[in-house]
Structure 1
Amino acid sequence: MTTATPDRIVLSDDDATVLSAASRLMGAALDHSRANNVALVEEGTDGDIARIEVPPATLRVLSRVLAMMASQQVFLLYPADTELTTKQAADLLGVSRPFLIARLEAGDLPFRKVGRHRRMRMDDVVRYKESMRASRKGALDDVVADSESIDGYDL
């Protein structure tokens, strides 16, 4: 049995299997399609047919959401212009609030003030998270290169 609250959906094993199969079939169909739009058709019990055309990119997102739901992964859907508090942004970035505030004041991340409170746009926070990830990867690559250059792996 599937249960749903405004912030969480818990699927039964049968529902998860159906969503997983739907995601896989949608992905396979979209991988072989060059169509500008995909028609979704619903036939009612009275014989009426409803048709809507959807861009393939939209269906790819839906396919990905279905796959995440099927595997019980937690995910967020949000408008790009959603504003976050410093606590919410710090939680999303996996850093402390004081660290985030220092980065804000250093100009690493745009923000606006509402009274005394700072607010950041979700898309800016996600972009900053990606830049943090790329920076960490670059630093790790440098460490590996330095270790290889001094035969650090030949111990």
Structure 2
Amino acid sequence: MSTIDENTITPSVDDLEALTQIGELLSEPGHLSLHTESGEAVDLPEQLRRLLDSATRSLRTGSSVTLMDHARMLSTQEAADILGVSRPTLVKLLESGQIPFTKVNSYRRVAMIDVIAFRTMQRAERLRIVEEAMHSNKMEGLPVTDAARSDAVAFVSGKIDEDELVRITRARYGIE
């Protein structure tokens, strides 16, 4: 496996067989132990087992996996990168009180857990908007196409913003 940074790993084709074997071991009932060459053994706690199982499943599908310390304090640029926004946009979110922050000297610091909570809340709100729009379409007898569903997924995940979703939808239906 290769690493993007100290917290992110990406799978390689060479690792697929080992990941499959590890996944099978993690999914079997019963306890698992880690063993050292010197013969020491430590039982794997259930929470760690679930974490490893989840990471293994993701890696087996070709996804990268990042392990984050939720207590970690981030710079504004790091927080902006996680949210997929510009640093000035993040600063506006901080100054408006939407995301808590602290100041260290003149630098703003944001807790990872607050960034994740904001992203989760933002996605939930976007999902609510999409579900409401799709329900409205169904009530009016309008079809919800696969392309519209794909756009909705991109919007909910934050890959496109509301303005872009409106632009794409208007273009699709010739409403300009």
Provide TM-score, normalisation by structure 2. Answer: 0.68
Aligned to 2:98: 108
Is residue 34–residue 44 contact of structure 2 (8 Å, CA) maintained in 1? Answer: no
Gaps of 5+ in 2: 145-176
Is residue 9–residue 65 contact of structure 2 (8 Å, CA) maintained in 1? Answer: no
User: Counterpart of 2:35 in structure 1: which amino acid?
Assistant: E
Tell me which moved more, 107-116 or 16-25.
16-25
State whether structure 2 residue 137 is matched by structure 1 residue 134: no
1:91 & 1:142 partners in 2: Cα distance? 29
Which one has a larger percent helix, Structure 1 or Structure 2?
Answer: 2
Q: Secondary structure at the match of 1:49?
A: coil
1:10 & 1:130 partners in 2: Cα distance? 24
Superposition deviation, residue 108 in structure 1: 1.2
Cα distance change, pair 90–53 in 1 and its aligned pair in 2 (3 A): same
Is residue 39–residue 51 contact of structure 1 (8 Å, CA) maintained in 2? Answer: no
Aligned residues: 143
State whether structure 2 residue 111 is matched by structure 1 residue 118: no
1:67 & 1:89 partners in 2: Cα distance? 27
Mapping of 1:133-152 within 5 angstroms? 133-152=123-142
Cα distance change, pair 6–131 in 1 and its aligned pair in 2 (3 A): closer
Provide TM-score, normalisation by structure 1. Answer: 0.75
Gaps of 5+ in 1: none
Percent sequence identity is 26
Per-residue CA deviations over 1:104-152 (Å, capped at 9, x if unaligned) read 1121111111222211111111111111110000011111122222223
Q: Which has the higher contact order (CA 8 A, sep 6+)?
A: 1
Is residue 24–residue 63 contact of structure 1 (8 Å, CA) maintained in 2? Answer: no
